[in-house]
Copies of this chain bind each other. A is one copy, B any other.
Amino acid sequence: MPAPEKITNDPNAPVDPRVETLVNELIGRVADKWTLLVLEELEDHRTCRFTELSRRVPGISQKMLTQTLRQMERDGLVVRTVHPVVPPKVEYCLTDLGHSLGEAFCGVWVWAEANLEKVARARMAFDARG
């Protein structure tokens, strides 16, 4: 074997480009506006129904909610439980994997809350410069 990329803890270690591609794809998939907002709702209310989510996630359309939830289900982030009753009742709940992603994004929420003001000021300054 010609030393095929060892797994190390060195953050500066070169990464297998194939892995980097996959990671980029996954980031692109998961760091989506709607995915993030749905993820946050499900973090707050461990389990949620469809209509509840569509009310809680500001501005999402039913189409995008369905699509986002399907993708999240496919990626193993949520479980979809159908209760065979009428009218239909479908519950969505985070998996452990989904919860871990929520925790990973926690830093971004904190950042956003902490830096709202700075961004607002930067925008005003930028817009003033024309």
Contact = CB atoms under 8 A, between A and B. Distances in A.
A109 B28 CA distance: 11
A37 interface: yes
The interface size bin for chain A is 35 or more
A112 B32 contact: no
B36 A109 contact: no
A106 B109 contact: no
Secondary structure class of chain A's binding surface, majority of residues = helix
B33 A32 contact: yes
Nearest to A105: B108
A113 interface: yes
A100 B104 contact: no
Interface in A72-130: 73-76, 97, 100-101, 103-113, 115-116, 118-119, 121-123, 125-127
